[in-house]
Amino acid sequence: MKTVKKIFVDDVVGLVKNYFALVIVIGICFLPALYAWFNIYSNWDPYGNTGALKFAAVSLDKGFTDEDGEYHNQGDTIIENLHENTAVNWQFVDSAEEATAGVYSGEYYAAVVVDEDFTYDMYNVLTEEVDRPTLHFYENQKKNPVATKISDTVVQTLQNNINVAFTEVVVSEVFSNASEFSDEVQAQGGVEKVTKKLKTLSNDLTRYQNALTTIIENDAKLQASLAVAKQDATNIENQAKVSANAIKDTQNVSNQVNVTVNSYSSDVNDVFNIINSKVNNMSSYIDTAAVESNVAKKAEALKNAAITATQIEQLIYSLPKTIGQEKIDDVKNNVLPLLREIQRLYYLLGKDTTEINQAIAELDSIDEKIASSEDKVKTAKEKEEKLKAVDVNTVVAKGADKIDAQIAQAKKNAVGVENIITGDLKNKINSGLNSLSGMLGNTNLLLNNVGETFGNLVVMFSAIDNSVDCANTSLQKTKEAIVYVNGRLIDVVNDVEKASESEKLKVLVNALSGDPEVYGKFFSTPVEVVTEAVYPIENYGSAVAPFYSTLAFWVGALILTAIIKVHPNKAQYPDASQRQLFFGRYALYWILGQLQSIIIVSGDILLLHVQCLHPGLFFLAGSFIATTFTILIYSLVVTWGDAGKALAVVLVVIQIAGSSGTYPIELLPDFFKKVYIFFPFPYAINAIRECLCGLYKLDYLKYIGTLVVFMAVSIVIGLLIKIPFEPINHYMEERMEDTEMM
């Protein structure tokens, strides 16, 4: 210990006696502090002077005049607001070309251009198919990376403000329309009358809901049948084609024919099931027309029933002749007139009296064509298209008084069709199928025809299934809307009935109305965010002070090893051991490191007024950090000489990039995430943060304790790991001296 003390005293006396060396040492003590202070001060309020950044702005908005004759121009509003915005230096130019040219030339960091249809798109987004309101933003990302981040923040803030205004406009328009209805009710004063109407409307909605449920359930059954029929038709098609090829080279023709006929009969029955499902759908449409109170919707339901009737015709005509069609002609003669009457009922609703004879003649002509044409299915499709072309509005205008009577007649016809389909037609089909095997003249030709027929059926089944699926989607959405509206009506009626006589009107009006502007402001910002800072920090300079102060400690230790030799003169202390020489010279390093620490911490607190909740702990942390860095860098240089100095520089470069001093460690590449815990920077920075912002449990002691571990590792490097490297270091020092430059 005496030798260590002697080496330290000799070093101090040597500095005091040499005025020039003393001045250099004093400068070394202040130089790291200056490095920290300048960096902290430059980052004190980096966004406080953004008002000098030039941003261009121009509005091309033409504006919009609403139904009340009121003119709106959100683009002008945006420009007016920017006139009051001092976050950046807004330059208001006359054209978009001037704004973008300034961005390209570097005169402006960025430019905002409001689209010419901005206001129109904003006010008509719910009523027309318009584009989204567009705000064009141009930024020069080459000019400065930090300015780009600032411009991104500016445009994001601008977009948020516009989004709030947009939501406010849309919601205000919606509630203005709702309020118009409540104003009419309040003016009439008929609360009981309105309540009765609401109940009637609710009952109608309930019936519609039930009707939709029935239709959806029937469609589900139809889709299940279609899936089975489609799979069977596909199997039969493949089987028929294989059998047709196989019988050319086989003697067992009759067995193959029997199998094919049985499968074919089953498939024709599936076609019959589809016909039956179509009849059910036609009846459902007629039932819907019966319960529907809206005349236009009644007519629409009748139209769907008439179109379905033509589809049933097509299916009946598509039955192959080979099942004995002559045996079911009498059934067709009974079914088709009923179907045509259903078609005719709707078709005639849209005709004036003077047009009825012409319309009847037109339909009769189509029927005659169906009876005589070779391509009956195609002709029936022509009638279907003609029915689809009849306008519902024309029916409502010219035949509203006939609709209810025609619905009653249509229901009778539908019942007749259903009875014939499920009775005589089914029996005749079965009879025709039973006699089919005796009518096979050419088995190979028949099987090919069967394969082609069922190939067509597969296509038809797929088309029907797709149509039903699309219809179900629409029906389900409609049902959901009806359920929601009906529930709202029931709540309103219940609230009105529970209220006293004097309060009924008020309750009704309040339930159906509201202040559009209030609703608009609420829905534009429905959630209020209350920010509570945890460990608040006053400014950005205080936030970066831990990083730059820690970096200054390292720079100070590195400068010490660059100026002061790490090895005492062994000739002056011949009896000193390596350990005594190590600690004897390090004592001077430690003292100078502590002086650097005191200057850095004092300047942070007293000169820059960095936020610091625990100044005493800050001084203590600075002492530990200075000790850790000086002993670590001192040991590296003692062990590896100039290579140790280079290693210290490499370590500081890695730690600057990956110590989480500025960017969160989670944002850095995987390499830094894996190695940063093995360096002292993160623990030094976190210890200072605890002092500046506030303590959490024992984190401060944990960070200080980790620094102590680094001290111990440094001593091991300087005393033990140094030993095997001494010959190499001595050789390298001699070679460097030989260069007379190093």
Same-domain check for residues 256 and 137: no
Q: What does the pLDDT read at residue 253? A: 45
The helix-helix angle for 191-246 and 443-498 (nearest 10°) equals: 160
Same-domain check for residues 244 and 285: yes
Domain assignment of residue 523, yes or no: no
Average pLDDT for 665-678: 82
Last residue of a domain, one of 185, 218, 234: 185
Asked if the model's pLDDT at residue 443 lies above 70, the reply is no
Domain assignment of residue 528, yes or no: no
Q: Highest mean pLDDT range out of 87-96, 217-226, 293-302?
A: 87-96
Asked if 703 and 687 count as a contact pair (C-beta separation under 8 A), the reply is yes
Q: Cα–Cα–Cα angle for 587, 590, 593, nearest 5°?
A: 150
Q: What does the pLDDT read at residue 522? A: 41
Same-domain check for residues 98 and 25: no
DSSP 499: S
Domain assignment of residue 718, yes or no: yes
Give the Cα separation of 537 and 612 in Å (integer): 9
Taking the CB of residue 389, how many other CB atoms lie within 10 A of it? Answer: 7
DSSP string, 572-617: TSTT--HHHHHHHHHHHHHHHHHHHHHHHHHIIIIIS----S-HHH
What is the tens place of the pLDDT at every residue in 173-216?
Answer: 544 544 454 555 555 555 666 677 667 767 766 776 777 677 77
Last residue of a domain, one of 498, 531, 566: 498
Q: What does the pLDDT read at residue 701? A: 96
Helices within 389-512 (DSSP H only): 392-399, 403-420, 426-434, 443-498, 504-512
Indicate the number of domains in the chain. Answer: 3
Domain assignment of residue 529, yes or no: no
**What is the H or E stretch that residue 59 is in?**
strand 54-59
What is the overall mean pLDDT for the chain?
A: 74
Q: What does the pLDDT read at residue 467? A: 52
Supply 549's token pair. Answer: 């102060």
What is the tens place of the pLDDT at every residue in 696-712?
Answer: 999 999 999 999 999 99
Residue 528 backbone zone (phi > 0: left; psi -120 to 50: alpha; other: beta): beta
Q: How far apart are the first and last CA of the chain?
A: 35
Distances (CA, A) of 450 to 108, 245, 264, 305: 77, 13, 8, 31
pTM score of the predicted model:
0.51
pLDDT band (50, 70, 90) for residue 64: confident
Asked if the model's pLDDT at residue 493 lies above 80, the reply is no
Same-domain check for residues 320 and 405: yes
Same-domain check for residues 159 and 135: yes
Domain assignment of residue 505, yes or no: no
Q: Which domain holds residue 362?
A: 194-498
Domain assignment of residue 343, yes or no: yes
Pairing, β 64-65 against β 54-59: unpaired
Q: What does the pLDDT read at residue 594? A: 96
Same-domain check for residues 413 and 282: yes
Asked if 123 and 166 count as a contact pair (C-beta separation under 8 A), the reply is no
Q: Highest mean pLDDT range out of 61-65, 221-225, 467-471, 528-532?
A: 61-65
Q: For the chain, how big is the Rg over CA atoms in Å?
A: 46
Q: What does the pLDDT read at residue 314? A: 73
Asked if the model's pLDDT at residue 83 lies above 80, the reply is yes
Same-domain check for residues 14 and 143: no
Same-domain check for residues 338 and 458: yes
Same-domain check for residues 11 and 131: no
Same-domain check for residues 149 and 225: no
Last residue of a domain, one of 156, 185, 214: 185
Identify the CATH number of the domain in which residue 167 sits: 3.40.1710.10
Domain assignment of residue 512, yes or no: no
Asked if the model's pLDDT at residue 730 lies above 50, the reply is yes
Same-domain check for residues 283 and 372: yes
Domain assignment of residue 507, yes or no: no
Higher pLDDT, 510 or 704: 704
Same-domain check for residues 549 and 566: yes
